[in-house]
Amino acid sequence: MKIISWNVRGVGRRSKRRVIKDKLLNSKADVIIIQETKKEVIDRRLICSIWGVRYTDWVSCPSNGSSGDSSKQWTNWWLSGVYGPNKAREREDFWQELAGLYGLCEPRWCVGGDFNVVRFPSEKSNGGRMTRSMRSFNSFLQDTLMRDPNLLNAEFTWSNLREEAVCCRLDRFIFTPEWEELFPNVRQITLARVTSDHALFNLIPAS
C-alpha cells in the first residue's frame, strides 16, 4: 500500500493538471489525497484529468470555510485527508472535529494532508516560540495515541518560495497504533516539489 498526499494549490489550468497527472502516474500510488483543488465541483471528468484512470473510486468533500476533510472506509481501516485552517482561531474547532472522527474511525485510522500548523518551533526554518496551536496539535496526538512518523529525507514540506525563504513542515501522515499493525514499518518521504509550494509526499511500506 502506497499513499500520497499533496496540496496542489489549484487544478484550474489544463497545463497544471497535465503536470499533476504525470507526477501521480509516475508515483504508482494506490491512494491519492489531494488538498486545495480550488474547485467547487469535483466530478469524474476532473478526476480522470488528474488521475489518468477513468474507472476508479473517489470521494470529495467541499471545504468548510478555509478547511475541509474527507474520509474513506475500506474493509477494516479508515483513511482521511485533511486541509487544516489557516487561522489560529479556527484550529480548536478543527481538532474537535478530528477528535469526533477519531471516535468513529478508530481503532485503525490514518490521516494525511496539509494540517497548516507545525508541532514544534524546530519545524519552521525561522524558529519562533511554542504556540497554542502547536500545543493543541500535540495534545490531540497524546490524547488519541496517534503516531507521527519521522519525515526521512527532508526537514520541511512547504516553502514560501521567496529569495529569503521560510520553510515549514505543514504536511504529514499520522495514524493509530492499530493501523500501523496492518502496515508495519511504513516510511514517510517527500518527493520533488513541482507546480506547488508544497512538496508531494508519501507513506510507503519499508523496503
Higher pLDDT, 82 or 11: 82
The CATH number that applies at residue 59 is 3.60.10.10
**Alpha-carbon radius of gyration of the chain:** 16
Query: What does pTM read for this prediction?
Result: 0.78
Confidence check: pLDDT of 207 > 90: no
Structural domain boundaries enclosing 28: 3-204
68 grid coordinates: 475541509
Confidence check: pLDDT of 126 > 90: yes
What's the structural domain count of the chain?
A: 1
pLDDT range class, residue 84, cuts 50, 70, 90: very high
Confidence check: pLDDT of 83 > 90: yes
Q: What are the distances in angstroms from CA 84 to CA 7, 23, 55, 163, 171? A: 11, 24, 29, 26, 10
Higher pLDDT, 53 or 5: 5
Model pLDDT for residues 30-81, shown as the tens digit of each residue: 888 888 888 877 887 888 888 766 656 777 776 655 455 566 555 589 999 9
Nearest-5° angle of CA 79, CA 187, CA 175? 35
Model pLDDT for residues 182-198, shown as the tens digit of each residue: 988 899 998 777 888 89
Whole-number mean pLDDT of the chain? Answer: 86
Task: Report pLDDT for 136.
Answer: 96
| Mean pLDDT value of segment 128-147 | 96
Model pLDDT for residues 145-179, shown as the tens digit of each residue: 999 999 999 999 999 988 889 999 999 999 999 99
**CA pair distance 193, 6, nearest whole angstrom:** 10
Task: Report pLDDT for 113.
Answer: 94
Task: Report pLDDT for 66.
Answer: 45
